[in-house]
Structure 1
Amino acid sequence: MNRSSSILLGVLAVAVFAMPAQAQESYMADLTGEAEVPGPGDPDGAGIATLDWNTMNEELCYALAVDYVDPATAAHVHRGVAGENGPPVITLETPGIDGGSDGCVEISNALRTELRENPSGFYVNVHNDAYPAGAVRGQLER
């Protein structure tokens, strides 16, 4: 299902401006179908994810926007380096029909430390019925 890029940008802009001002640690991922392992992912799929540590509430807040994919069925942060699959460690709200979701989740101190020390050891993955193993994926980076 195709959606215009303006929807993707609009959803992300709204979600990013809703992020807490207290964030001190920020991560992002560009999501593509090409990055799916072992693949294939959705060849037209694209998206972006931002994650910010909210020091005031000690939560990880995120904004997720995907475009050019069928409706999502799940979204996660997985442990795993580029080219490898890994287990989901954080469940994100599934993007809605507009392709976006945002929220905040509590994570353990150990996971926060691991994320801080090695963000590229994690990736964001969005799943749908057509691509249950993952429609789009992107490695986290600072």
Structure 2
Amino acid sequence: MHIVTRIASAAAVALFALGGAAAANAAPAIPLNNGQETTDAKGGAHGMFRYTIDGDQFCYTLDVAGLTVAAAAAHVHSAPRGEAGPIRIPLIVPNETSFHVEGCTTVSDPAILAGVQDNPGGWYVNVHTSTYPGGEVRGQLK
């Protein structure tokens, strides 16, 4: 996992470099917390999420601290604030309670990335744990 994260990190760092085309398309930092989740998650976990879209690449940086148990998964879902929605983009995260990860994933359906770009508020990112399989922390994209 760490090797994949490091390789993906190098690609993400290159995309986030100042002056790059992807940096101009970077979304603002998105806070994650329990209060945005629809699962009644508790525990005080929190984090930040950033993403860029370049062609069919969805690149991200995800920082999370204080999960109740190790992360099981993370995804970008389509749904407005206060609603749960289907998984659209899987993200790679380590099996830890606090972490920093950077990566890129290829999204084969251009409608998904167009949807994120056209209406980011209709999408959210969340991190799932065994304590809260529906999501422990969430942040609505912007």
Provide TM-score, normalisation by structure 1. Answer: 0.78
Q: List per-residue Cα deviations over 1:70-126 (Å, max 9, x = no partner).
A: 210000000000011100100000244341222111122211111111000000010
Deviation at 1:41, TM superposition (A): 1.4
Structure 1: which amino acid aligns with 2:59? C
* Corresponding residue number in structure 1 for 2:42: 42
Judged with a 3 Å threshold, the aligned counterparts in structure 2 of structure 1 residues 42 and 19 are, in CA distance, closer, same or farther, namely farther
* Corresponding residue number in structure 2 for 1:87: 86
Identity percentage of aligned residues: 33
Judged with a 3 Å threshold, the aligned counterparts in structure 2 of structure 1 residues 102 and 72 are, in CA distance, closer, same or farther, namely same
Structure 2: which amino acid aligns with 1:100? H
Please tell me whether residue 105 in structure 1 is matched to residue 100 in structure 2: no
Distance in 2 between residues matched to 1:90 and 1:133, nearest whole Å? 15
RMSD of aligned Cα (Å): 2.0
Structure 2: which amino acid aligns with 1:18? V
* Corresponding residue number in structure 2 for 1:63: 61
Distance in 2 between residues matched to 1:31 and 1:22, nearest whole Å? 26
Structure 2 residue runs without a partner (length 5+)? 1-8
* Alignment size in residue pairs: 124
Judged with a 3 Å threshold, the aligned counterparts in structure 2 of structure 1 residues 88 and 19 are, in CA distance, closer, same or farther, namely farther
| Higher fraction of helix | 2
Structure 1 residue runs without a partner (length 5+)? 1-13
Does structure 2 conserve the Cα–Cα contact (< 8 Å) formed by 1:72 and 1:128? yes
Does structure 1 conserve the Cα–Cα contact (< 8 Å) formed by 2:79 and 2:123? yes
Structure 1: which amino acid aligns with 2:13? A
Judged with a 3 Å threshold, the aligned counterparts in structure 2 of structure 1 residues 41 and 19 are, in CA distance, closer, same or farther, namely farther
Does structure 1 conserve the Cα–Cα contact (< 8 Å) formed by 2:72 and 2:95? no
Deviation at 1:129, TM superposition (A): 1.3
